[in-house]
Amino acid sequence: DHAHGTGLLDGLDPDQRAAAGSGGGPLLIIAGPGTGKTRTLTHRIAHLVTERAVPAEECLAITFTRRAAEEMAERLEALGVRVAVATFHSLGVRILREHHARLGLSASFGIADPERQVEVARSVCGDDGEARRLVAEGAEIYKKALRAQDLVDFDDLVALPLALLEDDPALVDAYRDRYRWISVDEYQDVDERQYRLLGLLAPPDGNLTAIGDPDQAIYRFRGADVGFFLRFREDFPGARVVHLTRNYRSSAAVVRGALEVISPSTLVPGRELHPFGDHGDALIAVHHAASEQAEAAFVVRTIEQVLGGASFHAFDSGRVTSDGTQGLGFSDFAVLYRTDRRSRALVDALTQSGLPFQKRSHDRLADRPGVARIVRELPFTAGESVVDRVRAAAGEDHVAHELLKPLAVECGTDFERFHTTLALGVEVDAWDPRADRISLLTLHASKGLEFPVVFIVGCEDGLLPLRWPGQDDDTDEERRLLFVGMTRARRHLFLSHTAARPRSPFLADLGEFRRIGDAQPKRRRGGTQASLF
């Protein structure tokens, strides 16, 4: 039973509309990158609330990162609805706040960040070397010490609610009653505890929407298991299954290249992904640099040239013409890398160039400019909820406002908690989606995002796929990670590698691409190389 011609479903294609407009019961959306999964999910929720009279309080949307949650809440607000958008961790915090006493915690228990975890471990053993070793080994001693200080850690945020619910069927019923409509984005990356928690929150015939792409499962190292996604239909019999196959995000070149790279992986049988829409002429280019410094210089040079309106036809003709990349801003560029260490040369080169950039980093929220002022002024601002009061106190400072909003949402109306949590040093992702800056991100952090121009540096054997000494390789997962990175590009994609290691074997699967500014002099003399870069 589809809803036809209704406002909220108008901006969707027929497959997306079938998914977004379907009624209750389990729903699985399996689709590749850029097919509008997240868009379908937000429209579905908005449609349920505004056009099917589902109470907003009964909706819960779960995503994996705080940033993704913020973005989803924003998209929903733009569609005119306000529902709970949580990460598994913030959902856990909510459940724990409501049942803190059962665990011997106070209502304002704190959340220990990694620094605090070390402090707690130290507090029980002082300078005793031997004791420190035992603490490091003895998780139980550590957890006891944590509780004694009225703290939980990030692990506990899912583990404890799960324990609460598994022990208490009445509690399960209460939450099932509260959240009758649950959706989970990036379901391919749930781990066992999250999976069990969801299984409790949503009954087998419940209104659970799971969205994901097995080809983008990249968190196995943290315990995620794509098997949970693959058995959704067994866990939720009668689930409606929708496939989306039109990629709206990327140019044909990017879609084709990404499919070539992922094709040896067999996780998705018969995968289908068709580029849709006009992205102008676009390019996948591979660049070989002599060193990391030279690679970073290539990135800077290329960004400057693209910003200057250089055409990619210039690679062939030597002429610089406009190809529509003109009008791009700094925020339209992202540079992705496998490990954070790889960002050093980039930070140096970008700093030197004067191009504005931002790198994802974890800072203490309370140390951020603007935040301290807001917290000081909060007691004097009017408003019922912490959200309203934060908004009032923030005024024009929208960066500080965005930083505080998720915590404010989490704290509802109970201000004291807001204060305590802040004081405990909540970490914040200092990356501001609205700043006009070039983004430096790890491949993992790029999940769900999109940029007109993407660079992936360090496409080298040993780095991508990454190999740690003494650890098993997971070549398939590394391949998926490259796939995730490549599919962030809307238009142009630059892959680079240096002389430090052999080329990534994944590049061998790439059929057609432009090789530019190669570091090998022989090739350059051959006259087949572009002279522009």
Which residues belong to the annotated binding site for ATP? 31-38
Q: How far is the C-alpha of 62 from the C-alpha of 57, rounded, in Å?
A: 14
Nearer to ligand ATP, 77 or 397 (CB): 77
Residue 16 interacting partner from Mg ion, ligand ATP, none (CB closer than 5 to 8 Å by kind): ligand ATP
Assigned token pair, 397: 């400072």
Partner residues linked to 363 by β-bridges: 428
Assigned token pair, 486: 């490549």
* CB contact at 8 A, 314 and 281: no
Q: What are the residues whose beta carbons fall under 8 Å from the beta carbon of 287, sequence distance 6 or more?
A: 295, 298, 494, 495, 496, 497, 515, 516, 517, 518, 533
Partner residues linked to 440 by β-bridges: 335, 359
Stretch that binds ligand ATP, among 31-39, 167-175, 400-408, 432-440 (CB under 6 A): 31-39
**Is the dihedral angle over the CA atoms 112, 113, 114, 118 positive or is it negative?**
negative
Residue 12 interacting partner from ligand ATP, Mg ion, none (CB closer than 5 to 8 Å by kind): ligand ATP
Minimum separation from the CB atom of position 74 to ligand ATP (A): 13
Assigned token pair, 372: 């301290």
**Could you give the maximum distance between any two Cα atoms of the chain, in Å?**
75
Residue number closest to ligand ATP, CB atom: 36
Residue 494 burial (CB count, 10 A): 27
Nearer to Mg ion, 39 or 524 (CB): 39
Pick from 285, 290, 353, 345: which is nearest to 492 by CA?
A: 285
Residue 36 interacting partner from Mg ion, ligand ATP, none (CB closer than 5 to 8 Å by kind): ligand ATP
Pick from 186, 250, 198: which is nearest to 37 by CA?
A: 186
Nearer to Mg ion, 448 or 485 (CB): 448
Name residues contacting ligand ATP, limited to 4-23 (CB under 6 A).
12-13, 16
Annotate each residue in 200-239 with x if it binds ligand ATP (CB under 6 A) or - if it does not, as one string.
-------------x--x-----------------------
Minimum separation from the CB atom of position 215 to ligand ATP (A): 9
Q: How many residues bind ligand ATP (CB under 6 A)?
A: 17
Residue 153 interacting partner from ligand ATP, Mg ion, none (CB closer than 5 to 8 Å by kind): none
Which listed residue (21, 33, 199, 485) binds ligand ATP by CB under 6 A? 33
Minimum separation from the CB atom of position 160 to ligand ATP (A): 29
Which listed residue (15, 22, 26, 37) binds ligand ATP by CB under 6 A? 37
Instruction: Tell me: does residue 38 bind Mg ion (CB under 5 A).
Output: yes
H/E element, 236: none
Stretch that binds ligand ATP, among 33-41, 154-162, 312-320, 388-396 (CB under 6 A): 33-41
Instruction: Tell me: does residue 325 bind ligand ATP (CB under 6 A).
Output: no
H helical segments located in 341-466 = 344-353, 371-377, 386-394, 398-411, 416-423
Q: What are the residues whose beta carbons fall under 8 Å from the beta carbon of 394, sequence distance 6 or more?
A: 370, 374, 400, 401, 404
Nearer to ligand ATP, 16 or 302 (CB): 16
Nearer to ligand ATP, 11 or 526 (CB): 11
Stretch that binds ligand ATP, among 32-40, 69-77, 106-114, 118-126 (CB under 6 A): 32-40
Stretch that binds ligand ATP, among 27-35, 47-55, 171-179, 306-314 (CB under 6 A): 27-35
What residue has token string 């002099």? 521
H helical segments located in 412-497 = 416-423, 475-486
Annotate each residue in 246-265 with x if it binds ligand ATP (CB under 6 A) or - if it does not, as one string.
--xx----------------
Minimum separation from the CB atom of position 281 to ligand ATP (A): 19
Annotate each residue in 39-68 with x if it binds ligand ATP (CB under 6 A) or - if it does not, as one string.
x-----------------------------
**364 φ, ψ to 5°?**
-75, 130
How many residues are recorded in the chain? 533
Nearer to ligand ATP, 43 or 94 (CB): 43
Instruction: Tell me: does residue 448 bind ligand ATP (CB under 6 A).
Output: yes
Residue 257 interacting partner from Mg ion, ligand ATP, none (CB closer than 5 to 8 Å by kind): none
Q: What are the residues whose beta carbons fall under 8 Å from the beta carbon of 113, sequence distance 6 or more?
A: 424, 425, 426, 427
Minimum separation from the CB atom of position 450 to ligand ATP (A): 6
Q: How far is the C-alpha of 307 from the C-alpha of 301, rounded, in Å?
A: 10
Q: What angle do CA 473, 477, 480 make, to 5 degrees?
A: 145
Residues near ligand ATP (CB under 6 A) are 12-13, 16, 31, 33-39, 213, 216, 248-249, 448, 450
Residues near Mg ion (CB under 5 A) are 37-38, 448
